[in-house]
Amino acid sequence: MGHVLVLNATFEPLNIVTVQRAIVLLLKEKAEVIEATEAQIRSQYLTLDVPLVIRLVYYVRVPRRLFLPLTRRTILARDHYTCQYCGAQPVKSRLTVDHVVPRSRGGETDWKNVVTACVPCNQRKGQRTPQEAGMRLLAPPQRPRYAALVLLGKAQAHETWRKYIYNEPKEEFIGDRTKKRIVLPNMA
Instruction: Give the interface with Zn ion as residue ranges (CB under 5 A).
Output: 83, 85-86, 88, 118, 121
Cβ 119 to Zn ion, closest distance in Å? 8
C-alpha to C-alpha distance for 50 and 123, rounded to whole angstroms: 49
The DSSP code for 104 is G
Cβ 160 to Zn ion, closest distance in Å? 30
Nearer to Zn ion, 3 or 125 (CB): 125
Cβ 85 to Zn ion, closest distance in Å? 5
C-alpha to C-alpha distance for 87 and 47, rounded to whole angstroms: 45
Cβ 91 to Zn ion, closest distance in Å? 13
C-alpha to C-alpha distance for 76 and 92, rounded to whole angstroms: 8
- Cα end-to-end distance, the chain, whole Å: 27
Cβ 94 to Zn ion, closest distance in Å? 10
CA 18 from centroid of its chain's CA atoms? 19
The DSSP code for 58 is S
Nearer to Zn ion, 4 or 135 (CB): 135
Nearer to Zn ion, 121 or 147 (CB): 121
155, 161 Cβ separation under 8 angstroms: yes
Nearest to 121 by CA among 95, 139, 92, 93: 95
Cβ 84 to Zn ion, closest distance in Å? 8
Dihedral angle at the C-alpha atoms of 178, 184, 185, 188, nearest 10 degrees? -110
Nearer to Zn ion, 86 or 101 (CB): 86
Nearer to Zn ion, 95 or 155 (CB): 95
Nearer to Zn ion, 87 or 185 (CB): 87
80, 102 Cβ separation under 8 angstroms: no
